[in-house]
Amino acid sequence: MLGGFELTDATDVPELGSFLFTVRDMHGEHDEAILVRCADPEAAPPEGAVLDSVEADDADGDDDSSEPLAVEAWINRCPHEDQRLDRGQGAAMRDGQVICPKHGSMFDSCSGYCDNGEAKGTNLVPLDLEIEDGVVYLTDDDYRLVGAGGIDDDDDGPSSTSHIGF
């Protein structure tokens, strides 16, 4: 095992959506984070992307291919405004981008960069990961794993005034 905290099997990270988990920072404060698949594991991975050769769903939904699976972890918050990206049902995603539910800004699932909308020019806050034998580990020195799920799964999170529906 690596010197980190076991999150989940890489194949359990949804193709569209996110795996929500809670971390504690070095000051003892709890925060939520999301684990997402990178948009195109066939493309050259961005610096920092975590790759592993594990069974990944191919286009027809069968588990009959073995191709690199890239995953990334981000703090579950839009940097433009304190808005949760995943409110407990998985982050909205489209074309390899995580969508902020409040203003519709889209963040690249591999780099965390936003090039549109209210959050243009910002980046999601990354967390360090590694994959070993198909299992994703949180290896970030600044965060400790609290557990799967959100901080308060009974809380619906911040309200949104967005007219955008997903």
- What is the per-residue pLDDT across 115-140, written as a single tens digit (0 to 9) for each? 999 999 999 999 999 999 999 999 99
Q: For the domain that residue 68 is a member of, what is the CATH number?
A: 2.102.10.10
Helix (H, G, I), strand (E, B) or coil at 124: coil
Q: pLDDT tens digits for 27-78?
A: 999 999 999 998 654 444 444 445 444 444 444 444 444 556 799 999 999 9
86 within domain boundaries: yes
Residue 2's pLDDT band, with cuts at 50, 70 and 90, is low
Do the domain assignments include residue 98? yes
Q: How many domains does the chain have?
A: 1
**Report field, pTM of the whole predicted structure over 0.85:** no
Does residue 109 contact residue 39 with C-beta atoms inside 8 Å? yes
User: In the chain, what is the straight-line distance between the N-terminal and C-terminal CA atoms, in Å?
Assistant: 38
- Find the mean pLDDT for residues 69-88: 93
The answer to whether position 159 is within a domain reads no
**Which residue segment(s) compose the domain that 99 sits in?**
5-148
Q: Is there a domain that residue 100 lies in?
A: yes
Domain for residue 22, yes or no?
Answer: yes
CA dihedral 144, 150, 155, 156 (to 10 degrees): 130
